[in-house]
Structure 1
Amino acid sequence: LTYLDLSSNYLSGPVIFPVAGNLLYLNLSRNHLNGVIPMKIGNLKHLETLDVSGNILDSEIPSSLSNCDGLTILKMRDNLFHGSIPQSISSLKSIVELYLSNSSFSGEIPKFLEAFQFLEELNLSYNRLEGSLPTQGVFRNVSATFVAGNEKLCGEMPEFELPKCVSRNSKNKGGVHKLKLIVTIFFGLLGITLVVAFLHLCRLKMKRNAQISSSLDDSMLNLSYEALLKVTDDFSSTNLIGIGSFGSVYNGLFRENGIAIAMKVLNLTWHGALKSFKADCEALKCIRHRNLLKVLTACSSIDHKGDEFKAL
């Protein structure tokens, strides 16, 4: 027996291969055969054509298929095969037509298919193959190679209409660039946030100082002789800080708000004291320096003796 065609029947159940060692042609296509292809297929060493298309065969292609190295036509499409395309097929050097479409083969397309010198038609379409499409051998003939329906497959030949492959280096570079961009944006936003926070704090500080200054101005602008007399304990010697050419300097404390002041009381009996008072008023109201106390106000009044009183 060299030729056996049982195609397009209603055969069901597992595949049982004939024991005829001289079988050249075996066609079991378009039936309801299920299960696995038995390892005994390796006994058909003279087989040239094997067609099991259109069944419900599953599992992986058996490694014993490598013994059928005289195969020229292998059709296994429209089944439930899964796993990668096995290395055992690499022994089929005489293969002319190979059909593995419409199954669930996964993994990359093996490179050994490029080396098949006699391969004229290859159909791997509608599987779960991935990776880069080979470019040599039968893959150079677009009209003889079919790989449609493998969503994760990529390639450099535009005729196959596949997306271009992205190398690992490109992915790594892309990841590095993305990371750099994220870090740059993060620190940029952090810097902007810090600047805004700093400006906000400065604004609050200026506002607080302005409020304090305003409070001081409101409380100091209308100081009377009696008020100055009170905060210095009647110009007590214990409050005396120093004596200058035109007057004495006292410290004082407003107990109501806890504000401490330094006060220069002019001795108007000294020649030039009044002129010095006016000059100090004009100069100090315009001067701003960290080593100089701010002039809060000036007092021009009459003391308890009826004499003229002036103080800064």
Structure 2
Amino acid sequence: MQFQAHRFSIAPMMDWTDRHCRVFHRGLTKRALLYTEMVTADAVIHGDRQRLLGFSEVEHPVALQLGGSDPAKLAEASAIGAEFGYDEINLNVGCPSDRVQEGRFGACLMAEPELVAACVAAMRKSQPKPVTVKCRIGIDEQDAEADLQRFIETVASTGVTTFVVHARKAWLKGLSPKENREVPPLDYQRVYRLKAKHPELTIVINGGIENLDEACRHLEHVDGVMLGRAAYQHPYILADVDQRIFEEKQSGPTRADALSAMLPYAEAHIAKGGRLSNITRHVLGLYHGQPRGRAFRRLLSERATNAAATSAVLEDAIALAEHGYGRQDQPDAA
């Protein structure tokens, strides 16, 4: 492995895994590898880099995910990302959205392994950080196992050694991005066989993994596990990652401690002109299934969206979730 953090990572998710989300997740797990949302190479080169790439030092280890199909542009964007201090540069070859296909990047590139190889070769040459690839097990009618093997072997010939494989194929025509996350059947065995055939590569499995019990079972066959929606919607499962996945002796923080640690960060964000809701939208699932979980979400949904909301709203939410402010302590369906 390039670094042990690949053993457990949190998936890059558009509009979800922004810098505020990553800081929150880092408070729950010190060891997991975090990923940015996908950023196009053009945006990195021509856009507001601090807005697009800025991150807090507490986020390490953190990887920048790029989208694109032009080797020269991806090389330039990779060098910029490395200069910003990211620990890894990842190329997205798995996103099936129409917008991504129109830009000739994402999952459609699985049909062009030689182009992907040229892209990652340029990315590796332009900067010193590890380059990795996130892909699917196949696209559209390309369903033979030999197609996945050829793709991986072609790209690996450039020196890339780590692949994050979403264990579903992508249907680029006929299914929406949401359907592509749910409709194509999961084929974990194909990813296991890929690892067995290439023991020299680091293979991380992604797709439909709901909890750490499932993650541990996958780790019997592959090098790493990536969680996406499960980690976002039920973030407190991350509090057990360091102990269960990385075999740390110390247990993770309580829910209240994790949120309390966000208070100085929230205050600093607000002081710079940000809004509390930029942060609290990522913590709504923290008390899922807990007494007063629904009341916690309701308080934040109603009060944190106010433009004048301060970190005091988050403090009130913690007090409500933990103690109920003296209200009758009845379990609240979550």
TM bucket, shorter chain:
under 0.3
> Which structure shows the bigger proportion of residues in strand conformation?
1
> Which structure shows the bigger proportion of residues in helix conformation?
2
Q: Which has the higher relative contact order, 1 or 2, with Cα contacts under 8 A spaced 6 or more apart?
A: 2
